[in-house]
Amino acid sequence: MSFINFLPTRILRPLAIIAAALGLSACEPVAIGSGTSEVDPNAPVVVALMVPLGSGNSVTDQLAQNLVNAAKMAVGDVRGANIELRVYETAADPATATIAATRAIDEGAQVILGPLFSSSTTAVAAVARPKGINVLSFSNNPAVAGGNVFILGTTFETVANRLVSHSIGAGFSNVAIVHQQGIEGELGRDAVTTAVARNGGTLAATLSYPLVLEEMSEQASIIADDLRASGANAVFFTDSPLQGLGFMTASLASNRYRTRRDAQFMGLTRWDTSDEVLNTPSLQSGWFTTPDPGLLLQFETRYQLAYGIEAHGLSGLAYDGVAAIGAMINAAKTTGDDNAFSMQRLTDPNGFAGVTGVFRFRSNGTNERALAIMQVDNGVAIMISSAPRSFAASGS
């Protein structure tokens, strides 16, 4: 969830925050499949919206309310589908989520939208699976996808594939990865490695650093030398501006290794979190991705007018989930079947139109999203490659 060629963007939180918010962690994926519960598309369809209200954390509760607001906005926009949205509080723990899912199903839920956290998603899926009910989770963690779980969050894989594909097309095909140590950095590294292989690039080097300032400074000198020796003409950073990205790139610059002069820098996370980040000298001319900026701006504006507050960066996921549910209900009405949320319909290759752009689910429960590529330019983010408005346009 396009800017007309040129516009600063500070709309969503970086992907690293999303990863943390959604509990990105190593989990065992469930078996591939989907719910089988019959859903009459001509009758009201009960959608259980599960959000982390009651968490005891004001920031999390505010995010939860944003998800509720966006979902209600989408229900008002959907035409043709009769959606009965019911909100259930999952707090921030799997036990509460289990209770909420049990109650929602007892009260007639036919599809579940949410929850937010990975652990809660796993708990809810376990309750919904025996009833043949699908779960459209707000998570971006591929480890919880599959079976009756389809994730809505933007994944590292999608971001890496978009950037690497563009990079190779622009002649930057020798890719080095510089990642922070720990599970998040390793997941990002793996996503970029896969994207390089998929797009026919060459993995020139894989280098890591600890998230400790003193050690990062020492490691930067070694990384700079290794990058020069690797022959890489593109360097992919997996870290977030909120962690070590700015310090590491500045340290590389201090060791005479800079973006554009030595290699094209690009990042797995959102770099447009603040004016300070966009003005960081070591990130100038670097690339990162965003959802379709023009569509997102429209949504943000509508949300502000409707609720008097700025939309949280994740709220568009709730809108997109409802929009997809509505589209599947209407498709089932057209074909006259009673399995609105079948695997075939969920994985329609044409995907769904969301407020953050087009997206589609894969059969393994993960997703693909159309993304724009932005370049940092003296305090603003300039769009250098627009987000495709259809998957046909993206060549998929």
Summarised one tens digit per residue, pLDDT across range 58-97 is 999 999 999 999 999 999 999 999 999 999 999 989 999 9
Best CA proximity match to 239, nearest among 186, 282, 287: 186
Mean pLDDT of 142-167: 97
Helix (H, G, I), strand (E, B) or coil at 110: coil
85 in any annotated domain: no
265 in any annotated domain: yes
269 neighbors 245 (Cβ within 8 angstroms): yes
Q: What are phi and psi of 180, to 5 degrees?
A: -75, 150
At 191, the amino acid letter reads A
- Rounded Cα–Cα distance for residues 163 and 365 (Å): 22
Mean pLDDT of 251-262: 94
Q: How many domains does the chain have?
A: 1
Domain that holds residue 287: 156-291
pLDDT in tens, 200-213: 999 999 999 999 98
161 in any annotated domain: yes
Residue 260 Cα distances to 273, 287, 374, angstroms: 22, 11, 15
305 in any annotated domain: no
39 in any annotated domain: no
Q: Are strands 367-369 and 357-361 parallel, antiparallel or unpaired?
A: antiparallel
Residue 246 Cα distances to 189, 261, 280, 367, angstroms: 18, 18, 7, 29
pLDDT in tens, 265-279: 999 999 987 788 899
pLDDT for 73 equals 98
- Rounded Cα–Cα distance for residues 294 and 393 (Å): 17
117 in any annotated domain: no
Helices vs. strands in the chain: H and E counts, helices first:
12, 15
Best CA proximity match to 135, nearest among 101, 90, 103, 107: 101
φ/ψ region of 33 (left if φ > 0, alpha if ψ in -120 to 50, else beta) reads: left
396 in any annotated domain: no
Supply the CATH number for residue 162's domain: 3.40.50.2300
- The mean-pLDDT minimum among 38-42, 51-55, 224-228, 321-325 falls in 38-42
At 165, the amino acid letter reads S
145 in any annotated domain: no
pLDDT for 37 equals 72
